[in-house]
Structure 1
């Protein structure tokens, strides 16, 4: 029988009602049997025992009176006779009272028992009265006593003995009935008590098992959930409170499993994302360090470029001074024609030196243009932070182109001047007419050299600005590197915490299919984030400018080489 269909209160009420009903039944039967026993005991104590007692006393009185009667009838002593007769009368009165009481006791039933005694009693009394009268008359009745009265007395006492035996038998039967009633009552009480105990124990066992079984199942399920086992099935049977408890536990297990599954998925997602972030930050840190290294190299290159530009400005000032000197010599040559040959030799030497210097300036302009191009490329790679640097690099490149153009013009002029100086000796006759042209050319050279000097000054200022910008970019890059290191440390901490969360959630065992399969951490490839064509480590070879002028004989070849380089560029 499935007791879980009924509520716990109903089961407990039914169990207690059954026990109470059995107890009431036992009490009713016990009261009934006790009432019967009480009635039997009352009848035994008040009627039958008293009847037997009265009958026994009556019999004793009759036997005593018989002895007195026999003595009174056989003795001749008047005083003794009087005393015996007085005792006999008193005993007879007592006997009459006992007989009357016995008749009262036998009114409810058994009055016919006295019928067997009445006839012997009357016969005995009649014979005794007759003998008493004969005795009073003076007749000797001793023989009649033995002959006539004794048999009647024996019959009378025998009837009384029979009546007493009957009374004793009834008393014994009543005692047996009382004992039987007591035994039956005891058996009923014991049997009812045993039955009540058995039914109570059985009912208590069934009710207890129907309650403790689901409760133990609930405890086991709660313990399993506490141990992290969310896959164990919770059986729910019945419609009682314990069934509702198990149903609530099953619902709680299902909800808890869903929560743990969601937490596990989210934790695994966080772990994967944190791993990607940590890997990305590590790669970003490496790239930032590479960028910082590249900026340091750029700063070094800018220092070299600044030194080169300063040297270029010094050369331009020297060229300007030389041009001024040449102009002075040309003016004086117009006044002193006689010294033209010696002066032309000096001009020839100076022109060769100027050609060498212009070749050097041409090389410096070419290198400056290359450096400006590299700076523009680096500014484009730097993005938003390198926009100002790109503008400055463009200006530097424009100045380098202008310097190159001026150097070309100066080279052309110097070549013409050298040719003229070489032919000066042969054309000394024409010196006077051409001196004015020489003076004008030298003045133009002075102007161009002045422009070169001004451009070199501006170029030096621009290079200084570029150096400051590179320094600022280097500082910003160092700050970015520090921030990237902090971000990498935070990402690593987040990764560690996410792994700890995954390990903490991993203790729960879910049903198959309750949670998605754990996502494997994505192997992050740092190369996927590099820009196209981005070098891992940037190293640049900056051409060193010539610090000293080459020999005059190498000027034509160097000029040709410089022209070819500018054409290719």
Structure 2
């Protein structure tokens, strides 16, 4: 088992580092998804919505320009001051339209929008030039020519300009809707990924915690069982040790202790047997010595008795 080949401290660091990595990955996924959502939201707030508002402002200004020109036809006056005011008003409106167009052109996003903007630039130029011609004819007292030019060119250019602006507005609305849908999709995907990540993290954490606990508890239980058997005097238990961690070292130490105890007991047993044998030999020697002494005493007694019979005057009694 791979975990049993690692020290407990290193094993703990590895397991908790892996759990920390899982949490970090989960957090990274959440951050990436939130960044995508923020990107889509920013695209709507900073690009498509302002572009739609800018187009609406341009359409409104173009409508004012057409109304102002029509009003100048209906209220034809030979007063030079009025004509100049009207001309200044038309110039101001054209400049406002041109400024709005330039601002819009600074924030183009897609190829489709760029192509539509090019059409807008062309249509707007044609319309402005046609309008200037109409106004020149009107100022130079050529109303019929001005009306004919309005019918033949100006209205057509105005309609084309309106169509291009409508197309641009449709593009902006479509892109805004797509960005909103992408943001919603990213949100739903984030919930799915984060939920799956949480479940996966829980499962992996449970598995890692279980393996880590078993890798410590199982060998410790074995060590306790072995120690209890040794305490009971059973020195024949087979001790198997796997790995190189601290519990494995403990089992190895118990195995060495059991072997040493067996050898010690064998030595004591051998010494005891030797002592018993020596005692038996000593007992035999003692018994033989006692018999020899008794025989010697008896022999002495006999000799003394004989001497007494010969007139020595004393008697020796030997038991």
Residue 246 (structure 2) aligned to one of 241, 261, 279: 241
Residues 252/73 of structure 1: CA separation in 2 closer, same or farther (3 Å cut): farther
Residues 107/238 of structure 1: CA separation in 2 closer, same or farther (3 Å cut): closer
Greater Cα shift, 135-144 or 121-130: 135-144
Aligned counterpart, 1:152: 157
Residues 67/223 of structure 1: CA separation in 2 closer, same or farther (3 Å cut): farther
Q: Structure 2 matches for 1:271-350, cutoff 5 A?
A: none
- In 1, Cα distance between the equivalents of 2:236 and 2:260? 14
**What's the CA shift for 1:242?**
1.4
SS of alignment partner, residue 106 of structure 2: helix
SS of alignment partner, residue 94 of structure 1: helix
- Asked if 1:134 corresponds to 2:137, the answer is yes
Preserved CA contact (<8 Å) 1:121 1:156: yes
Q: Structure 2 matches for 1:447-486, cutoff 5 A?
A: none
- In 2, Cα distance between the equivalents of 1:145 and 1:234? 113
Preserved CA contact (<8 Å) 2:7 2:246: yes
TM-score scaled by length of structure 1:
0.38
Residues 94/259 of structure 1: CA separation in 2 closer, same or farther (3 Å cut): same
Aligned counterpart, 2:291: none
Preserved CA contact (<8 Å) 1:70 1:145: no
SS of alignment partner, residue 58 of structure 1: helix
**What's the CA shift for 1:221?**
5.7
* Offset from partner CA, 1:115-168 (integer Å, 9 cap, x none): 222333233223322222233234546965974444432221111111111122
- Asked if 1:120 corresponds to 2:99, the answer is no
Preserved CA contact (<8 Å) 1:73 1:145: no
Aligned counterpart, 1:203: 208
Structure with larger RCO (C-alpha < 8 A, sep 6+):
2
**What's the CA shift for 1:235?**
5.0
Residues 214/81 of structure 1: CA separation in 2 closer, same or farther (3 Å cut): farther
SS of alignment partner, residue 106 of structure 1: coil
Q: CA RMSD in A?
A: 4.3
* Offset from partner CA, 1:409-428 (integer Å, 9 cap, x none): xxxxxxxxxxxxxxxxxxxx
Residues 2/155 of structure 1: CA separation in 2 closer, same or farther (3 Å cut): closer
* Offset from partner CA, 1:378-424 (integer Å, 9 cap, x none): xxxxxxxxxxxxxxxxxxxxxxxxxxxxxxxxxxxxxxxxxxxxxxx
Residues 61/223 of structure 1: CA separation in 2 closer, same or farther (3 Å cut): farther
Aligned counterpart, 1:100: 102
Residues 241/70 of structure 1: CA separation in 2 closer, same or farther (3 Å cut): same
**What's the CA shift for 1:54?**
2.2
- Asked if 1:59 corresponds to 2:59, the answer is yes
Preserved CA contact (<8 Å) 1:52 1:167: yes
Aligned length: 263
- In 2, Cα distance between the equivalents of 1:134 and 1:195? 78
Residues 100/231 of structure 1: CA separation in 2 closer, same or farther (3 Å cut): same
Long gaps (5+) in structure 2:
269-319
Aligned counterpart, 1:536: none
Larger radius of gyration, structure 1 or 2? Answer: 1
Aligned counterpart, 1:166: 171
